[in-house]
Amino acid sequence: MSKGGRETPLESAAPSASPAPPALAGKVALVTGGGRGMGRGHALRLGRLGAAVAVADLNLMGAVEADEAAGDVISELEAGGAPAVGLEVDVADRSAVEAMTERVVDRFGALDVLVCNAGSMGALERSSATIASAESLRSILETNLLGTINCCQAAAAHLKVGGWGKVVNVSSLAAIRPQAGGAFAPYVTAKAAVIGYSLSLADELAPHGVTVNAIAPGSIDTPLTRGLFSDMDDREAHARVPLGRFGTVADVTGVVEFLSSPLSDYVTGQVICVDGGLSITDALHGSGVDGAG
């Protein structure tokens, strides 16, 4: 307060602070399954946080071909100022994953954040627990579970180098709350195993300053879920979710941002449901579930 009783403007009382650098400035992130859907959203969010981003996918043009975006994710990242590289890789191929990881480190000099998003739900038809074929089970396990393990094992040594690192593995609410009638049993099995693996990895990497967490998305509105489930616009289905709606890609990427940044440095070995509260109610058992986005 000035002598005459008038307040002194804050800007004249102290110099303005410099803007804080982005949360992941100088960090390097690798996102699998990042060509479209939720994975694309994760990659773009990490790029906006200042990270250099490597995106791995079977088809990096997937979003363009599916009319989800006008340009591929690498072009979008670079347009936003993020250094980026795209790699077309099958995460079920261990040697290809190892080569991918080395290429990322060679390109950017480090690897600090790993988001294992690559996955596949398979077809609804003949997917129940008693009749799912061995071929279907093997294919789903290879992509969702072995793909995650391959990436985590290839990245582990690099993540430990700096004494700080983040792993976010994408499971699904289906792993905790299976589909009615046993549908998508191979997918449910694989995503449940991703949670178990994540907990073991978290314990092993904790002494090195690396956190490992899993997210379990519920009913998330993506082109993938719209192709699999018929109730994505059903008001009654939305109303059964405690928060009154299905989730968006942005809802999930917000949690990935938290788990990939220093904000979560004391959070490890956790499974976070991103489901609008669906996991606390029985109201929607058997409706659409995502997690492979």
pLDDT in tens, 8-62: 444 444 555 678 899 999 999 999 999 999 999 999 999 999 999 999 999 999 9
| Domains of the chain by start residue, with CATH | 24-280 (3.40.50.720)
Residue 90 has what pLDDT?
A: 97
What's the pLDDT tens digit per position in 151-191? 999 999 999 998 999 999 999 999 998 777 888 999 999 99
Tell me the average pLDDT across 64-78.
93
Q: How far lies 47's CA from each of 8, 31, 96, in Å? A: 40, 11, 24
**DSSP code per residue over 11-44:** HHHSPPPPPPPPTTTT-EEEEET-SSHHHHHHHH
Q: How far lies 229's CA from each of 39, 121, 126, 225, in Å? A: 20, 12, 15, 6
Residue 95 has what pLDDT?
A: 98
pLDDT band at 228 (very low <50, low <70, confident <90, very high): low
Active-site residue, 197 included:
no
- Indicate if the pLDDT at residue 219 is higher than 90: no
Residue 74 has what pLDDT?
A: 98
- Indicate if the pLDDT at residue 283 is higher than 60: no
Q: Helix or strand or coil: residue 289?
A: coil
pTM: 0.89
Q: What is the mean pLDDT of the chain?
A: 89
What's the pLDDT tens digit per position in 105-135? 999 999 999 999 999 988 878 889 999 999 9
CB contact at 8 A, 288 and 183:
no
Single out the catalytic residue among 108, 184, 187, 229.
Answer: 187
Residue 230 has what pLDDT?
A: 63
Q: What is the rounded CA–CA span in Å between residue 289 and residue 90?
A: 24
